[in-house]
Amino acid sequence: MAEHGYRSTSMDDIAEAVGISKATLYQHFTSKIDIATAVMIGGVAGFVDWLEHGPERHVTPGEWLVLILREIITMIDHHNSAVFGRTALAMEVFTKMRDRPEYAQISERMLTMLAQAVQAAQASGDVAAEYPPSLVVQMMFNLSETVHYQHLKSEPTETLERVSALIVSAFFNGVQAQGAPSQRVSAGERK
């Protein structure tokens, strides 16, 4: 699916790529949507693993939030554009994903770790303390919905890195504590 997109990939293609029969594939998945849902859950699990083993202890809490936001943007952009290519399909997969018990467990871990990262940034003065951590986390995900920025990436001067830097800057301008050191990232800077 990542190679050819969701619509252009058939169950036959998937079975062949994995090296199993179509009948065996159907024993595990009833549809492409089920496979896409499993792929998304795997992506979220990979993100949670990255959160657990990331460079958090080697950067400031504000820098850690920058890295987290960039990773969220990259993950969402990859799944929305490379795999699904359409918002409606991504929403259908997300809806199915939320109904899976394994996603509920992974999601709970992810949201707890993200809230802890926000609390650390609040304690260090990088994020205003008056914002509930769950609101800041939700803002991170809302700003990261790169489907809203797809048109920017089609312009020759805009790349995912630059769009990501602009989103990170906008985010920190909104949640930054008064007088806190700036977490703004220039559009050309890579972390």
pLDDT digits (tens, 9 = 90+) for 149-174: 666 666 666 777 877 888 888 888 77
Residues 167 and 111: their CA atoms lie apart, in Å, by 20
Residues 26 and 89: their CA atoms lie apart, in Å, by 21
Residues 37 and 1 in one domain: no
Q: List Cβ neighbours of 101 (8 Å cut-off, separation of 6 or more).
A: none
Q: What is the pLDDT of residue 176?
A: 67
111-141 residue pLDDT tens: 999 999 999 999 999 898 898 999 999 988 8
Residues 143 and 68 in one domain: yes
Residues 18 and 83 in one domain: no
Residues 14 and 104 in one domain: no
Cβ-count burial 159-185 (b if 16+ within 10 Å, e if not): ebbbbbbbbbbebbeebbbeebeebbb
Q: Is residue 88 part of a domain?
A: yes
Counting the structural domains of the chain, the total is: 2
Residues 104 and 162 in one domain: yes
Residues 8 and 53 in one domain: no
Q: Where are the alpha helices (DSSP H) in the chain?
A: 11-18, 22-28, 32-53, 61-77, 87-98, 101-123, 133-144, 150-153, 160-175
Residues 1 and 36 in one domain: no
Residues 74 and 131 in one domain: yes
Find, among 165, 152, 1, 177, the residue nearest to 69 by Cα. Answer: 165
Q: What is the pLDDT of residue 184?
A: 44
Q: CATH number for the domain including 158? A: 1.10.357.10
Q: Is residue 90 part of a domain?
A: yes
Residues 65 and 129 in one domain: yes
Question: Is residue 18 a contact partner of residue 25, using CB atoms and an 8 Å limit?
Answer: yes
Q: Is residue 68 part of a domain?
A: yes
3-state secondary structure of 29: coil
Residues 85 and 159 in one domain: yes
Residues 17 and 98 in one domain: no
User: What is the span of the domain harbouring residue 15?
Assistant: 1-30
42-59 residue pLDDT tens: 888 999 999 998 776 789
